[in-house]
Chains A and B, each alone.
Chain A
């Protein structure tokens, strides 16, 4: 029982990342009709917003300490972050310690700007081109973006830990009657799940309960008619691209304490996220979210010792197996709509 609960939590946690990325992908596909293979790169850029802010906050003055030696035996260069000088050592250390949560505020405008530039600068020129062209250009863009990040930050993962107060794990089992230490789960992974739920809820609320969202939904359903009503739907769709980029970026920021970010992390999620979108149904926002969590949980169950012993290799193929089954039984995905990518 404890194993099932733990794997369910793991699955929800993985599913949170899948759902957030797939949600952005679906938003872009549903509004602009673009298959955006650079979406994983937006997740990666979000993560590097956290790295950038951490390094920015850690910028230091250098003093020479004659009493200590470096690896060559020379006097040691001691670095003291400016924030320590400005706010005192304790407050300065706390600011650096909380750089990942602070990066959320930093990443939102940066990612909206990145999305806006990407859409206006490149992707809008491919709206009327075949999907194959869109895939090629966005995939190429993804490679360029990751090489740019590699140029500045190297290929090695960069540790970007959670604040000390949020590190470690909570004993969830004791809250529901299990023995101590049976069901423990990291604080940050729980935060990630609730953060993802909050973002997903906010996006849905924005689309459901605002006039802007209503127009966007109308545009997704019938772009031409909305245009005939005199509404500049292209402008709204560009803003939606920026919002989708911000969602992917925030998913990346919050992911950095789970796994140290590296330039390739976007590609690691890209293929899985597309499978999530297809399983959920192209163009379906609820489908993308539901499929994200479903595949995350199934992937976790398939990684249990029992599953891998019973069917060796099941942990590596489960997502694709589910995709095949879903597409055979429901060709439009779990919640796909008629007419999407069917012309």
Chain B
């Protein structure tokens, strides 16, 4: 009778070693074959659209998503081609990206940094998204940009206006098409001087978070450079709904201009409250009292209703822009969805096309190739006029719009009128500008992941 050395414990151990041995080559093969995170191997490539689908900015997120879906259609050769017809780069042929059909997955940022990171992470890890695009908050943009940098995918920001996104928090894998708070200040200042004079006293109400602070800093700097005096800067809690307690001190402060560094629901409420107190009917220091809202969006204008009449602000884009790219985009978007696009929709649409075009020109989806293709890229035909993606900070430089609440709107979309198209030279700043992190701010190295 022969005696066997096989035991239950030994069998398990040997099986585990054998299994690991068999699996080992596969693990090594998988990691060494992928040159970068989520390298597409099939006939399609997946993009991740991370927008607010719930929460207070859900309508803005919905508009972004409509624009992103339209961009995917155009990339795949469907519809009327949209801005592929007007884009100065002719790398895109309407056959997807690098011959691969474009598919997309969506995530819900909820306009919360942690939720936005979680949804972006899920799209990257579970759905294989190779690029993340969208969002309606600077906090979200900075958080997701950091995640994408770590994960080795490209982040094409949506609506983010804080200087920090391409300032102290800039990242090699992140790109911003939208303008920023500094640009708002630089664009608005000459118009304010022209319309209100150089001897004004401004009172700022500022949303108490990162974006509000950078906008206040930018507007104070640009208006004080005009000769304006800043009477007071008051921070208001982000959760505020009734701003009457903050507006009544303005009445007898000696200020003759109120600057509302608010966005979204905060802006709708603070502007409505200011109008209720009849501020625009007041005369202070022998001048008509004025209100300025440095950052406008179409949805905010709609929410504020008639209160917005005559109030100056700035925008990244407006559907009334009269250039070929804009007219083409408004036609494509309007015919498909029955309304003109918002400026957040336009920026998301442009970002998707810019990413796709960069892949085509680079001949790869490798994030480092895409970064190289986008840095210093000059283009036109996407709606904003001639634009540069600056290499040093990945910020787009283009003309900025100064707009005013329409006095006599003729329809529901006619809420804002363009006052001036501020030339890009007037809003350009040095990459190491103190408001953007100074010399310490660097992009770091591009990360292909894998």
For B235, the chain A residues whose CB sits under 8 A away are 308
Bitwise, A245-263 to B at CB < 8 A (1) or not (0) is 0000000000001111010
Q: How many positions in chain B have a CB within 8 Å of any CB in the partner chain?
A: 45
If A260-B269, A262-B56 touch, does A156 touch B302 (CB 8 Å cutoff)? yes
Question: Nearest chain B CB to A191's CB is how many angstroms away?
Answer: 12
- A86 in the interface (beta carbon within 8 A): no
CA of A14 to CA of B269, assembled, Å: 14
CA of A186 to CA of B307, assembled, Å: 14
For B249, the chain A residues whose CB sits under 8 A away are 3, 6, 304-305
B residues 42-68 touching A (CB-CB < 8 Å): 55-59
Q: Which of A27-35, A68-76, A327-335 contacts B (4 or more CB under 8 A)?
A: A68-76
Question: Nearest chain B CB to A59's CB is how many angstroms away?
Answer: 15
Bitwise, B271-299 to A at CB < 8 A (1) or not (0) is 01100111001100000000000000001
Which residue from B281, B282, B303, B305 sits with its C-beta under 8 Å from A161?
B305
A residues 263-289 touching B (CB-CB < 8 Å): 264-265, 268
Let me know if B239 and A260 touch, CB within 8 A. Answer: no
A residues 157-191 touching B (CB-CB < 8 Å): 157-159, 161, 167-169, 181-182, 184-186, 188-189
Let me know if A262 and B278 touch, CB within 8 A. Answer: no
A residues 84-129 touching B (CB-CB < 8 Å): none
- B386 in the interface (beta carbon within 8 A): no
Question: Nearest chain B CB to A263's CB is how many angstroms away?
Answer: 9
Let me know if A181 and B305 touch, CB within 8 A. Answer: no
Let me know if A260 and B303 touch, CB within 8 A. Answer: yes
Which residue from A11, A156, A169, A186 sits with its C-beta under 8 Å from B299?
A156
Let me know if A150 and B58 touch, CB within 8 A. Answer: yes
CA of A298 to CA of B319, assembled, Å: 45
CA of A188 to CA of B241, assembled, Å: 17
B residues 310-330 touching A (CB-CB < 8 Å): 319, 330
CA of A167 to CA of B248, assembled, Å: 17
- B5 in the interface (beta carbon within 8 A): no
For A300, the chain B residues whose CB sits under 8 A away are 244-245
- B246 in the interface (beta carbon within 8 A): yes
Let me know if A303 and B245 touch, CB within 8 A. Answer: yes
Let me know if A72 and B304 touch, CB within 8 A. Answer: no
- B237 in the interface (beta carbon within 8 A): yes
If A156-B302, A157-B303, A159-B306 touch, does A258 touch B246 (CB 8 Å cutoff)? no
Total A-B Cβ pairs within 8 A:
119
Let me know if A155 and B58 touch, CB within 8 A. Answer: yes
For B228, the chain A residues whose CB sits under 8 A away are none
CA of A299 to CA of B243, assembled, Å: 11
For B281, the chain A residues whose CB sits under 8 A away are 168
Which residue from B244, B246, B268 sits with its C-beta under 8 Å from A260?
B268
For B57, the chain A residues whose CB sits under 8 A away are 155
For B306, the chain A residues whose CB sits under 8 A away are 159, 161
Let me know if A264 and B411 touch, CB within 8 A. Answer: no
Let me know if A6 and B251 touch, CB within 8 A. Answer: yes
- B334 in the interface (beta carbon within 8 A): yes
For B307, the chain A residues whose CB sits under 8 A away are 159
Let me know if A258 and B248 touch, CB within 8 A. Answer: no
Let me know if B251 and A184 touch, CB within 8 A. Answer: yes
For B431, the chain A residues whose CB sits under 8 A away are none
Let me know if A10 and B245 touch, CB within 8 A. Answer: yes
CA of A118 to CA of B235, assembled, Å: 40
For A155, the chain B residues whose CB sits under 8 A away are 55-59
Question: Nearest chain B CB to A196's CB is how many angstroms away?
Answer: 14
For B330, the chain A residues whose CB sits under 8 A away are 71-72
If A71-B334, A186-B278, A305-B234 touch, does A3 touch B58 (CB 8 Å cutoff)? no
- B410 in the interface (beta carbon within 8 A): yes
Question: Nearest chain B CB to A177's CB is how many angstroms away?
Answer: 16
Greatest chain A CB density within 10 A among B57, B241, B299, B331 is at: B241
- A154 in the interface (beta carbon within 8 A): yes
CA of A108 to CA of B252, assembled, Å: 40
- B232 in the interface (beta carbon within 8 A): yes
Let me know if A305 and B248 touch, CB within 8 A. Answer: no
- The residue of chain B having its C-beta at the shortest distance from the C-beta of A77 within the complex is B411
CA of A303 to CA of B237, assembled, Å: 10
Let me know if A268 and B252 touch, CB within 8 A. Answer: no
- B335 in the interface (beta carbon within 8 A): yes
Question: Nearest chain B CB to A47's CB is how many angstroms away?
Answer: 12
If A159-B304, A259-B272 touch, does A181 touch B251 (CB 8 Å cutoff)? yes
CA of A189 to CA of B239, assembled, Å: 21
Let me know if B242 and A14 touch, CB within 8 A. Answer: yes
If A6-B251, A71-B413 touch, does A258 touch B58 (CB 8 Å cutoff)? no
If A71-B413, A159-B303, A169-B276 touch, does A259 touch B242 (CB 8 Å cutoff)? yes
- B449 in the interface (beta carbon within 8 A): no
For B59, the chain A residues whose CB sits under 8 A away are 154-156
CA of A259 to CA of B411, assembled, Å: 23
Question: Nearest chain B CB to A98's CB is how many angstroms away?
Answer: 16
For A167, the chain B residues whose CB sits under 8 A away are 276
Between-chain CB contacts (< 8 Å), 22 pairs: A6-B249, A71-B334, A71-B413, A150-B58, A154-B58, A155-B55, A155-B56, A156-B302, A157-B265, A159-B303, A159-B304, A161-B305, A167-B276, A168-B276, A168-B281, A184-B277, A262-B265, A299-B245, A308-B234, A308-B235, A315-B237, A315-B245
Binding site for B on A (CB under 8 A): 2-3, 6-7, 10-11, 13-14, 68, 70-72, 76, 150, 154-159, 161, 167-169, 181-182, 184-186, 188-189, 257-260, 262, 264-265, 268, 299-300, 303-305, 308, 315-316
Binding site for A on B (CB under 8 A): 55-59, 232, 234-235, 237, 239, 241-242, 244-246, 248-249, 251-252, 265, 268-269, 272-273, 276-278, 281-282, 299, 302-307, 319, 330-331, 334-335, 340, 410-411, 413
8 new A-B contacts at CB < 8 Å, known A10-B248, A304-B249: A155-B55, A168-B278, A185-B277, A260-B303, A262-B265, A264-B56, A300-B244, A305-B232
What are the 6 closest A-B residue pairs judged by CB atoms, nearest first? A159-B305, A303-B245, A157-B303, A155-B58, A186-B276, A169-B278
